Structure 1
Amino acid sequence: VLQRYHGQPVEVPASRYRDHIAWLQTHDVAASESFWRERLQALDEPTRLASALPAPDAGTGHATCRTSLDADALARLQRSAASQHLTLNTLLQAAWVIVLQRYTGRRAVAFGATVAGRPAALPGAEAMLGLFINTLPVIQAPSPDQAVADWLQALQAENLALREHEHVPLYEIQRWAGQGGQALFDSILVFENYPVDAALRQREQNGLKLGEVSHAATTNYPLTLVISAGAT
């Protein structure tokens, strides 16, 4: 839209969403099923954080709670992650795993993580228009005697392995779990590390001014944790 606004030509994507559909038809479904069944073996039962918390006061609808870290605190987290060759997303996922373990009393826990769903093996996937985003279970069961550094490295490796199977629909994974198709988790973690504000302000030309960017999203989960790594 901004390219059009500034009179700049817009390239037509070389690939179309139908190419993605065709790619899915050639993917090894058995390999993806084997991958997810192996992960699901560690989960004895769905992770329900809402059931482990005190019942809320009477009321309906959704509420939003916002908090922020100052620049120094964010920098410390980023340095800590970098010193162990980890992404900030891995560090935050690990923290959420510990929260779920302590509140539910379960060693093996699961939460949902949003993924882009654009296959790296599909040429032109990044420029395609279409619905790719997916929510997948992150299943972890760290033990008390496991070194934290080792677990964090394993968690990051698991996230990388998941990318090969992130196109699998969540309903299929729930069916393979043998839990009657019911949800495996009631909380999801969304990590945003793309500075949307900065990217848009780079497009300010010809008198066009953009204000603060904000968005609100409602999911079907009791708790949606959205983390933005951009400056505020």
Structure 2
Amino acid sequence: GDAEHLLLVTMHHIVSDGWSMSVLVRELTALYAAFHAGQVPTLAPLPVQYADFSVWQQEWLQGETLETQLAYWKEKLAGAPSALDLPTDRPRPPVQSHRGATVDVRIPPEVSQALKALAQREGATPFMLLLAAWQLLLSRYSGQDGISVGSPIAGRTQAETEGLIGFFINTLVLRARMEPRATFRELLAQVRGTTLAAYEHQHVPFEKLVETLQPVRDLSRSALFQAM
């Protein structure tokens, strides 16, 4: 129309992640505001480009550094179950598909506040608390005492990367061991320690981890974890 327009932008996931979307929108907004005001747009110059990050990662993540990072994951995931055996109402298809549905879960404010207070008392984040509860629930349903859950991480550990559009995200495998006599607070402490250690060893690309650990492959399941 004369006064209203719609801009449609398509950007492939191979060159962008969720963080990149906010960068794109922020810069487009700044450029449009300058255009609308008849001003010359000014964006802060980027200190590095994605190619610089890629070169740095390839040069840094090798030799002793790579071995140290991989050693942590080898030890942490040694003996982990290859599959999460949840009871299902339908037979598993021979090849994994993405057919399914989503269910929104809304936590009442008073419960949310109580959870945050508990996390704070235990020196954990709400994410760690909910992860511990999620892993405990999966353990109850599956009857397994070892539960691995995948979790995305932004991967922007250098300040110079915060203004870049690119694919920095990585996937971490967070494993919890259920002890029959442990309290939930003890489980939360374990999950807290596991999560912090995983952040310290977040630089190994997930595909490199799969290549190194060589888990039993099954076309009906994703490797290393099936819950995220």
When normalised by structure 1's length, the TM-score is: 0.70
In the alignment, is residue 112 of structure 1 matched against residue 150 of structure 2?
Answer: yes
Describe the shift of the 1:92–1:31 C-alpha distance in structure 2 as closer, same or farther (beyond 3 A).
same
SS at match of 1:80: helix
Asked if 1 retains the 8 angstrom alpha-carbon contact of 2:69 and 2:203, the reply is: no
State how far apart, in whole Å, the 2-side matches of 1:135 and 1:69 are. 26
Larger Cα-atom Rg:
2
Partner residue in 1 for 2:67: 30
- Quote how far apart the aligned CAs of 1:81 are: 1.1
* Structure-1 separation of matches of 2:226 and 2:142: 12
8 Å CA contact 2:129–2:188 kept in 1: the answer is yes
Map of 1:18-57 to 2, 5 A cutoff? 18-24=51-57, 25-27=59-61, 28-49=65-86, 52-55=87-90
TM superposition score normalised by structure 2: 0.71
Residue 186 in structure 1 maps to residue 213 in structure 2:
no
Instruction: Give CA deviations for 1:162-212 in whole Å, capped at 9, x if unaligned.
Output: 123223222222233342355122221xxxxxxxxxxxxxxxxxxxxxxxx
Q: Do residues 170 (structure 1) and 206 (structure 2) align?
A: yes
- The whole-number CA distance in structure 1 between the counterparts of 2:118 and 2:72 is 31
Question: In the superposition, relative to structure 1, how do residues 68 and 156 fare at CA in structure 2: closer, same or farther (>3 Å)?
Answer: same
Q: Give the superposed CA RMSD.
A: 2.5
Structure 1 residue runs of 4 or more that deviate by more than 6 Å after TM superposition: none
Cα distance in structure 2, aligned partners of 1:16 and 1:106: 45
Residue aligning to 2:179: 143
Contact 2:176 2:190 in 1 (8 A): no
Aligned to 1:12: 45
Considering fraction of residues, name the structure with more strand. 1
Distance 1:48 1:15, change over 3 A: farther
Distance 1:33 1:132, change over 3 A: same
For these two proteins, the number of residue pairs brought into alignment is 184
Q: Which digits, 9 at most, give the CA deviation of each residue in 1:50-75, with x for residues without a partner?
A: xx22228xxx8332211312322211
Q: 2:226 corresponds to which letter in structure 1?
A: D
Structure 1 unaligned residues grouped into runs of 5+? 189-232
Q: Take 1:108 and 1:74, find their aligned partners in 2: how far apart are those partners?
A: 27
Are the aligned partners of 1:42 and 1:141 in contact in 2 as well (CA < 8 Å)?
no
Task: Note if contact 1:42-1:108 (Cα within 8 Å) is conserved in structure 2.
Answer: no
Q: Secondary structure at the match of 1:187?
A: coil
Instruction: Tell me the amino acid that sits aligned with residue 91 of structure 1.
Output: L
In structure 2, C-alpha distance between the alignment counterparts of 1:179 and 1:90, rounded to whole Å: 26
| Alignment partners' CA distance in 2, 1:152 and 1:118 | 26
**Is 87-96 or 161-170 further displaced after alignment?**
161-170
Counterpart AA for 2:74? R
Specify every segment of 5 or more residues in structure 2 that has no aligned partner in the other structure, as ranges. Answer: 1-27, 35-40, 92-97
CA, structure 1 residues 48+175, in 2 after alignment: closer, same or farther (shift >3 Å)?
farther
Provide the rounded CA distance (Å) in 2 between the counterparts of 1:32 and 1:68: 37
Contact 1:107 1:142 in 2 (8 A): yes
Once residues 84 and 100 of structure 2 are traced to their aligned partners in structure 1, the CA distance between those partners, rounded to angstroms, is: 21
Hey, what's the Cα distance between the residues in 2 that align with 1:48 and 1:6?
Answer: 53
Superposed CA offset, 1:28-86 (max 9, x none): 1111110110011140322243xx22228xxx833221131232221121112112121
Identity %: 25
Counterparts of 1:66-145 in structure 2, within 5 Å, are: 66-119=104-157, 122-145=158-181
